[in-house]
Structure 1
Amino acid sequence: MSHDKTADHAQLTGWLDDPADDRGVRFRQDDGSWSRLTYRELADRVVRAGAALADAGVRKGDVVPLVLPTGEDFVSQFFGLLAIGATPSVLPLPQAIRGGEGYTNQLRAIAGRIVPKHIVVDHRYSEVIRESSDELKTGAVLLEPVHADRADEAPRAYGELAVLQFTSGSRGTPRGLRITIANLAANLRMISGWMANTHYGAVTWLPLYHDMGLIGGLLGGLTSQLEHALMRPEQFIRDTKGWLTEYGHTPYQSMCMPNFGFERVLARTKPEHLEGMDFSHVRSVISGAERIDPAVLSRFVRLLEPHGFEASALMPAYGLAEGTLAVTGIGPLETPRLVKVSGIERRLGEKLDIREVTELTADPVDEPWLWQVSCGRALADTRVDILDEELSPQPEGVLGEIYVEGPAVADGYLDPTPEDRAKLSDGKLYTGDAGFVLDGELYVVGRLGDSVKINGQSVFVEDIELELAAGDTISRQHATVVAGMAGSVPTVLVVTERPLGEQLDEALAIVRSFAGDAAHTEVLHVKSGTIPRTSSRKPRRRALWLSYVAGELKERVKA
């Protein structure tokens, strides 16, 4: 085995051979208390889990789905598989699949690709998994998390594939993404060098079947043996204030969540809740995974600033599963920049009209939907280019498709189509995201597939949705915006599960301010649960748009 491969495996599982006694991981319990295992105790459980998995018949190279909630068992089974050379594939829990995405359909799409021999399942979900497995005739053996009585005889092996990441994304059915040991190790080194945490990590609540939760929330802290803490997503939802309190009383250095997480904190936390707390030790607050709203981040700074928090701790980032996770990020102690861009010029390959540049602070900017938040510079060993429609690199200030190249770019899709190979292969990734670079920093505008061309200009639904939400015209929990060509007519559609009432005219006026008179604009009020969503709660815009053009999207009552 080459030195590089040895170093890559050490990046992931080296802590098992030299575990720390003075640091550990805390796990939130159902009653609100915390349990804690030192890294030495955790390593012992991992090795014993690996022995039990091997005894059950799991072998090097096997892909083993995990259906486990965040907790001690997840950590031991995930690393136990890696330790014996097998590949974990983290699946959503049954209750995480809603909005028209049946759990059996999810399993069918996955099982048809990997035909697993074993599935590790928490006892609470074993019945639904067994029923689905029997229906699909996979022949998989269901294993509950177990730990062997011995540790010294546990086999150790080095596999090639670290994770098989299934992601439906916002635009399709679940697809398997091959993340090799080399990909994951490279991204973890990039993240570690970027964030530069020393002793304490984070209190993470993000779901572990999502790349941001698994790699950014869990693996980054554990493989560096930082003092870390894990909550389940529903615990964060139920006790958002309790999550923030952990930071106020313990010197955890990092936070990591998408925009809706910040919105949740702001909705559930009042200034008086923070009396006696200190947030001066929080040095890296990573925001990403969805469009970054500068108004929300400003309010977050304003809430915590009286208690020692500084805006320079905000580190907006850009990443995606196909990049393993992180691609770009604001550097430590750098205050993120905002750029005001005219909404008129949105042609790929043409220079944008940059109106103003400022810094993100506690003071909100006017018209936040016109401002783009910097996602920082490319992380180590990563190249980011902006391409026009002819795939030619563009200079700074020009809108185009974001292209990524580097060692952390995923190995590829499982059973790739020619289109898949054209998008992702040989460490090169055409992301399908639109953005621009200014002073070396990346600004992400939106998904190319979630835009519509009107008079030659790309109108991005994220821009429209952000303005609608900024004025409380819609709630993004219950509404979304989709766009496309309905026949030969460019169309922008607001789909809401709650009636807009008197705000209907305002919503249409906002949409028309982006789309102009050349597009058809419409608001549909549909029944609750109509908007399909991914397991990470992003709207599946393409599925919704296809339902609309097929005539299947029915208005509940007149909005």
Structure 2
Amino acid sequence: MSDPRPELLPEILTRRAGAEPGRTAYVFLDDTGAEATTLTYRELHERALAVAAELESRCVPGDRAALVFPQCPEFIIAYFGCLYAGVIAVPLNPPRRNRIQDATGSIMRDCAPAAVLTLDMFVAPLRAALEPLCTASHWLAVDGMASAAVDFEPRRAAPAEVAFLQYTSGSTGAPKGVMVTHGNLVANEEMIRQGFGHSRDSTVVGWAPFFHDQGLIGNVLQPLYVGTTAILMSPVAFIRRPLLWLSTISRYRAHTSGGPNFAFEACVARAAAGPLPELDLGSWRVAFNGAEPIRPETLERFAETFAPHGFDPGAWYPCYGLAEATLLVSGGTPGRGPRLLEVDAEALGARRYVPATGTRSKTLVGCGQVLPGETVRIADPATGETCPPDRVGEIWVSGGQVAQGYWRNPSATAQTFRAAGEYLRTGDLGLLVDGELYVVGRAKDMVIIRGRNYYPQDIEQTVQASHPALRAGACAAFAIPAPAGEQLVVVQEIRRDAAADPAEVLGAIRAAVVAEHELAPADVVLAAPDQVQRTSSGKIRRSAVRTRYLAREVAPWLPRSDDLTEAQRS
């Protein structure tokens, strides 16, 4: 009689280490693109056993362990060490410039880790910075743990046990710990395998941070699940040299690679600025685009720029997911390319789908179909009733990949994960048209003025295109209360190298918003660089910017004196 229990990730790694001990699981590149180190299945398994043995001697199953690492092999070793020991891993954003992010402090207080795992060089500074924020008793350096002759039997987990906490990015509020079980992991990894068409020959290239669900579930765990090799870069390397990402895809003949929409925009911008390296992107079969709104013009510009270098527009793979569903919810068919839907913009503002007929149209990019093993409903957020096909509603999801809930937060769990008893309320608004899911915005971010709905990302796109001095991807549009009702506020960063007249820029923004949306902003703030917060996946944290705006904490842009007119200087 066969065992109905699925094979979980710790068992998959153990099996691969026994069957293919010398096969390369991961290749790590340095910031120049050179190979820095590799991990075979045997090396990963044996080093994870050493971590597990150390954890077992200090913790009990169910304890939390914070994982604070740069993009390095030790993160993966520590993660599987936690799975082997039954300790709940909590991936964290490592400090930048010796500064602990507010979200990191919030997570440490919320999860109350018994141990902190990191590299030897970071133990002392991390302990000094984080010890006041948590109750951790053990600060362990994974790179100092020897794997030789470790006699440890990995703990056999149940599918319903929590494997790790994936803290939300906080785009609409404080981070919450999503309880991802062992069963959720293998359910979603199987959905990704089928959706992306993966096999053991489907090399993956990735740069997304490991503490983010796209980096961990997609770029680290999916390759191990299917038995292929992952080529891993650091996020810093990508930000500094976007075209190094494409060179890596070309060099390693990658089948799958992707990121948020801004990553593809960055490549187009860098290509326009100078000569391109020698590229052959013909192997790239799944160019996934997800984690933030997908722009049709981005898909077009990228394809036009890189088609001469072998990029096939059919490789576009727009997709949709969220941490509460482990990672992936919907995706296309490899080789099909994107589905575009032309809709009437005014009707969309009233949450209705009407095919575009006039001049005020909007192009929506489809995020693929509902995948096997799940159910997706478009529901009225107020009543929970299923919406008619021509109505925008909230995307509700059920299936084996939907997580258990939020860590020690029963009220938020009941509100988000128990809709109609079994559905996850994603908080995202969308449509299902001919089996394709189209995501149109966040319910909590919706700007509602005089009874009309405005999608903030549409306003932000209009603003950023209104003047060349404005920084791309650094605009937040939101509503604030006023005696006469809600009013629109726009906070937009200015480029670091910009030389512009503030009055001219403000005028351009206001004129563009009025012309495109028939809406006059109550306030437009020209902000200094780095004032518009984003999540690790590139989403605008509108609620955080709104909070800082109301507290008068947004630093304004100060133009150079030679940018001002004579009248302004006087």
Q: Tell me the TM-score normalized by structure 2.
A: 0.87
Name the counterpart of 1:7.
7
Name the counterpart of 2:459.
464
1:276-355 equivalences in 2 (<5 Å): 277-346=279-348, 351-355=352-356
Counterparts of 2:312 and 2:106, CA distance in 1: 45
Amino acid at match of 1:476: A
Higher mean displacement: 372-381 or 334-343: 334-343
Residue 308 of structure 1 and its aligned partner are, at CA, apart by: 2.5
Unaligned runs of 5+ in 2: 495-499, 565-570
Aligned counterpart for 2:447 among listed residues 441, 447, 452: 452
Contact 2:378 2:392 in 1 (8 A): yes
Structure-2 change in CA distance of 1:11 and 1:377 (3 Å): farther
Name the counterpart of 2:168.
167
What does the per-residue CA deviation read over 1:142-169, in whole Å, with 9 as the maximum and x for residues that have no partner? 1011433434512310341111112242
Counterparts of 2:385 and 2:196, CA distance in 1: 32
DSSP-derived class of the 1:480 partner? strand
Higher mean displacement: 119-128 or 230-239: 119-128
Residue 11 of structure 1 and its aligned partner are, at CA, apart by: 5.2
Name the counterpart of 1:359.
none
Name the counterpart of 2:490.
494
Amino acid at match of 2:434: D
What does the per-residue CA deviation read over 1:276-298, in whole Å, with 9 as the maximum and x for residues that have no partner? 53222110011010010111111
Counterparts of 2:195 and 2:223, CA distance in 1: 13
1:116-265 equivalences in 2 (<5 Å): 116-136=113-133, 138-145=135-142, 146-151=144-149, 153-159=151-157, 160-198=161-199, 199-265=201-267
What does the per-residue CA deviation read over 1:491-526, in whole Å, with 9 as the maximum and x for residues that have no partner? 222112327552322311232245535x64321123
Structure-2 change in CA distance of 1:399 and 1:25 (3 Å): same
Alignment partner of 1:376 is 2:378: no
Amino acid at match of 2:464: A
Name the counterpart of 2:415.
422
What does the per-residue CA deviation read over 1:178-224, in whole Å, with 9 as the maximum and x for residues that have no partner? 00111111101100111112313222110111111111121111222
Contact 2:330 2:369 in 1 (8 A): yes
What does the per-residue CA deviation read over 1:212-271, in whole Å, with 9 as the maximum and x for residues that have no partner? 111112111122221211111111222322221122232110112001111121122359
Alignment partner of 1:33 is 2:25: no
Amino acid at match of 2:113: P
Alignment partner of 1:483 is 2:484: no
Unaligned runs of 5+ in 1: 357-365
Residue 409 of structure 1 and its aligned partner are, at CA, apart by: 0.8
Structure-2 change in CA distance of 1:144 and 1:386 (3 Å): same
Contact 1:533 1:539 in 2 (8 A): yes
1:431-446 equivalences in 2 (<5 Å): 431-446=426-441
Counterparts of 2:364 and 2:56, CA distance in 1: 50
Contact 2:246 2:279 in 1 (8 A): no
Contact 1:191 1:326 in 2 (8 A): yes
Residue 555 of structure 1 and its aligned partner are, at CA, apart by: 5.0
RMSD of aligned residue pairs (Cα, Å):
2.9
Identity of aligned residues (%): 32
Contact 1:434 1:447 in 2 (8 A): yes
Amino acid at match of 1:328: S
1:263-282 equivalences in 2 (<5 Å): 263-269=265-271, 277-282=279-284
Structure-2 change in CA distance of 1:139 and 1:408 (3 Å): closer
DSSP-derived class of the 1:281 partner? coil
Structure-2 change in CA distance of 1:236 and 1:152 (3 Å): same
Counterparts of 2:4 and 2:457, CA distance in 1: 41
Contact 1:408 1:427 in 2 (8 A): no
Counterparts of 1:472 and 1:325, CA distance in 2: 36
Counterparts of 2:354 and 2:326, CA distance in 1: 33
Structure-2 change in CA distance of 1:229 and 1:557 (3 Å): closer
Alignment partner of 1:18 is 2:14: no
Structure-2 change in CA distance of 1:324 and 1:96 (3 Å): farther
DSSP-derived class of the 2:7 partner? helix
Name the counterpart of 2:497.
none
Contact 2:534 2:540 in 1 (8 A): yes
Counterparts of 1:442 and 1:155, CA distance in 2: 44
Q: Tell me the TM-score normalized by structure 1.
A: 0.89
Counterparts of 1:547 and 1:72, CA distance in 2: 37
Counterparts of 1:285 and 1:96, CA distance in 2: 32
Counterparts of 1:210 and 1:164, CA distance in 2: 11
Name the counterpart of 1:360.
none
Counterparts of 1:149 and 1:36, CA distance in 2: 16
Name the counterpart of 1:114.
111
1:46-57 equivalences in 2 (<5 Å): 46-55=48-57, 57=58
Structure-2 change in CA distance of 1:11 and 1:450 (3 Å): farther
DSSP-derived class of the 1:346 partner? helix
Counterparts of 1:266 and 1:115, CA distance in 2: 43
Amino acid at match of 2:28: F
Structure-2 change in CA distance of 1:151 and 1:319 (3 Å): farther
Contact 1:8 1:186 in 2 (8 A): no
Name the counterpart of 2:87.
86
Counterparts of 1:152 and 1:19, CA distance in 2: 20
For CA contacts below 8 A with separation 6 or more, give which structure has more relative contact order.
1
Structure-2 change in CA distance of 1:514 and 1:546 (3 Å): farther
